[in-house]
Amino acid sequence: MTYPIVSRLTVAAILFASTTGLARAEASDADEADGIVVTGTSLEETLPQELSRYGSDIETVTDKQVRNGGFVDVARALQTVPGLYIMPGSGPFSYVDLSLQGSRTQDVLWTADGIRLNNRLYGSTSPNDTLPASMIERIEVLKGGESLFYGTQAAAGVINVVTRSFTDDFNGQVNGSVDSRFGTNLDGYARGSVGEHKFVVYASRNEAEGYQPYSVMQPSATDRKRGYRLWSAGGKYQFDFTPDLRLNLQYQHTEAKLDNLSATRVNTSRNDRNEEIASARLDYTGNDTIQFFLKGYFHDWKTAYVQILNPIPAGPPITVYPAGTFWGYQDYGGSAVVKLHPHRGLEYLVGYDFQNFNGRDDVLLIGKTSEQVHAGILQVRTTDEITDRGRIAAGLRYNKTGGAKKTIWNVSGRFDISDSLYVEGIGGTSFVLPDASSLYGIDPCCEIGNPNLKPEQSLNINLTAGGALPLSGGALNWKATYFQRRITDLIDYDYDNPDFPNGTYINVDDKVKVRGAEFQIDATLAQAWHVNASYTYTRARNEGATTQRDRTPKQYAKGSIAYAPEDLPFGANVAVNWVGDAYSSPSGFPRQNYGNYATIDVGAHFYIDGAARRHRFGVNVENATGKEYATRGFGSAPADTGGRFLYFLRGVPRTLRVSYGLSF
């Protein structure tokens, strides 16, 4: 579908208006933005970094990496993360296949500034389609079971997108880009403070005609390009009652029109999204004895769906779902965490988490459903008063929702053997609650829900050794990790029950076992060269099986080289992403291997104003070799002339993107 290029001048005017009267102000180096100290720290904001001090494995993607990579959405930015396989189905703003250390997509929790984003209607439906990269301050990826603080769907880890942070000094950026596939992107932000009042505002507009998403499309499919049009705007406000007590308010609105095509018969198929995210948080960080935060959040996600198909043989189009057919949900709740340090040697984190979810799907029918979750959290930690070389933490979470109750535990620790060598680990149990479709699905076309499903539970362990080696003019950091998960009560399809000819859902008796290892290095050379590489091996099998689970690559590797001298106004980067064997099982065909390919991205940037670095030009080429590759495995569908045909979702073809950014 082709979207008209409209309203861009309006958005551009809004974004550029924020710079009126500021061009004459002293500009800061855009690359130095990565080093801005965030003011007004919160117990919630620092939680991922605190967990990493106690043995959790964390990876961070910076806004500088996003800018230099020319990334449009969050999923592309995440493709740089070691140990994480993530593949957008049909380019920017599409659902992703995700495997974090051998996990399934639904085993990873997505949050934005700590607010959960996962779709509880469908656990495997990722929120990437409404997350533009322009709002990123950083992305934090926690690996391993993290259900202690984050609850359901954090069984293999957490992806936390941190939006633009507060600063004392006024600054911002305005950016625009165009690409060789008629894609355009406009975005900008501004932030600063007035006395005790701090603020951040940001907005973006992303639009593209898209490309043919399937390797094969039947003649009956007349809409043959997956386009998107998305705009997002957000704001943050912080008021400091005292230096230690502050109020934080946040709001983000997103609207999107996203094509949802198929390989046959499609005339029109589109999701029109409307999303609201809001939160209010009170932080107290007054002293070492007690700190706390109180937070309430609201997440409203609505889709108006339309699907019109072309008949076979030819005739008038058939409206399957009229425009405005609803599916969506609301998720709101609150949380509180208190950090206590009443005596030397130990500190305690005590928390309560409440979530209220309700949703409905009139497309793939799910009865209107609601769910409440109550959880109590306790963690005990050692402090540096015992030793500053080693830290240990242990915790429990009690989770109650409807008739389901689950208590999970977590133990982690880190020990610095020397200044250049450390070991760390995390182990415990995590859980995944059944999603609404597996509980309450009522569409006769598909699998029928089973309201008696139990939550999945997994036993997780991650063990890591790492360190640093000095190099002339730089340093080399390395890390090696062994991981293992065992999943019980796995929720899966069952087609053997004659009462449900189209299938239903069950907790399978067999366990799923995942184990593997990853290795990574990250080196800075001569203060100008940055090199990193990682390799991940996973073995994910059902109990007693001899084959890898579908859509879980057995091996994948990543590497990049970046040149960015501090004394020169330009830089360049090259990134390689390799995927080993990955299998899928299309209906009516033998199991297919869609892996064994590599893609290469290249980029360069330069500042036309030299050392001032206010005006930045960038050139990026995604998939520079033009590799044709599958993103989510093979599928099959009825052919126009009878029988079935094989197809796969195509990765992004070679795409050139040119960008310009103004910092102020």
As a whole number, mean pLDDT of residues 55-59 equals 97
The whole-number pLDDT of residue 414 equals 98
**Domain 8-663: which CATH number of 3.40.50.450, 2.40.170.20, 3.40.50.300, 2.30.30.20:** 2.40.170.20
Domain parsing of the chain, residue ranges: 8-663
Q: What is the largest CA-CA distance in the chain?
A: 79
CA–CA dist 92, 71 (Å, integer): 9
- 460, HSE (Cβ side, Cα atoms, 13 Å): 33
Tokens 């094969």, located at residue: 216
Strand-strand pairing, 108-112 and 592-593: unpaired
Q: 431-440: per-residue pLDDT in tens? A: 999 999 999 9
Confidence check: pLDDT of 369 > 90:
no
pLDDT at position 32 over 60:
no
User: Residue 615, exposed/middle/buried by CB under 10 A (0-12, 13-18, 19+)?
Assistant: middle
* Residue 18: pLDDT band with limits 50, 70, 90: very low
- CB-based burial of residue 46 (10 Å sphere; 0-12 exposed, 13-18 middle, 19+ buried)? middle
Q: Which of 250, 257, 236 is nearest to 306 (CA)?
A: 257
Q: What is the mean pLDDT of residues 277-282?
A: 98
pLDDT at 229 over 50: yes
Q: Which among 595, 507, 512 has a CA at the least distance from the CA of 551?
A: 595
Q: Is residue 506 predicted with pLDDT exceeding 60?
A: yes
Confidence of residue 441 (pLDDT cuts 50, 70, 90): very high
Share of the chain above pLDDT 70, in %: 94
Contact 133, 88 (CB under 8 A): no
pLDDT band at 124 (very low <50, low <70, confident <90, very high): confident
- The whole-model pTM stands at 0.92
Query: Residue 424 and residue 467: Cα distance in Å, rounded?
Result: 11
Q: What is the pLDDT of residue 4?
A: 42
3-state secondary structure (DSSP) of residue 78 = helix
Cβ 621 vs Cβ 603: under 8 Å: yes
Indicate whether 101 pLDDT > 60.
yes
pLDDT of 9 strictly over 90: no
Q: Is the backbone of residue 17 left (phi > 0), alpha (psi -120 to 50) or beta?
A: alpha
Length of the chain: 664
Q: How large is the average pLDDT for residues 535-544?
A: 95
Peptide bond into 92 cis (omega under 30): no
pLDDT score recorded for residue 35: 39
Long-range contacts of 35-42 (CB under 8 A, 24+ apart): 36/165, 36/167, 38/165, 38/166, 38/167, 39/166, 39/167, 39/168, 39/193, 39/198, 40/166, 40/198, 40/238, 40/240, 40/246, 40/248, 40/283, 41/285, 42/248, 42/281, 42/283, 42/285, 42/293
pLDDT for the residue numbered 404: 79
Q: For residue 462, what are the β-bridge partners?
A: 426, 483
| Residues with Cβ within 8 Å of residue 218, at least 6 apart in sequence | 263, 264, 265, 637, 639, 640, 645
DSSP-derived 3-state class of residue 31: helix
Residue 320's pLDDT is 97
Asked if pLDDT for residue 12 goes beyond 80, the answer is no
pLDDT for 558 equals 97
- The distance in angstroms from the start CA to the end CA of the chain is 37
Least trusted range by pLDDT, from 120-134, 211-225, 277-291? 120-134
Checking if the pLDDT of 516 tops 70, the result is yes
Strand partners for 584: 592
**Residue 77 and residue 89: Cα distance in Å, rounded?**
15
Query: What b-and-e string marks burial along 551-583, b requiring 16 or more CB atoms within 10 Å of the CB?
Result: bbbbbbbbbbbbbbeeeebebebebebbbbebb
pLDDT at site 2: 44
Tokens of 240: 């400091």
pLDDT band at residue 6 using 50, 70 and 90 as cut-offs = very low
When pLDDT is averaged across residues 469-492 and rounded to a whole number, the result is: 94
Whether the predicted pLDDT of 210 surpasses 60: yes
pLDDT at 473 over 50: yes
What per-residue confidence (pLDDT) applies to 36?
A: 39
- CA Rg value for the chain: 25
Tell me the C-alpha distance between 99 and 435, whole Å.
19
pLDDT surpasses 60 at 17: no
Mean pLDDT of the chain: 92
- Across residues 530-557, what is the average pLDDT? 95
pLDDT for 402: 77
3-state secondary structure 327-342: EEEEEEEEEEEEEEEE
User: What average pLDDT score do residues 262-280 get?
Assistant: 97
Mean pLDDT computed over 344-373: 93
Give pLDDT, residue 463. 98
Q: Residue 31: pLDDT above 80?
A: no
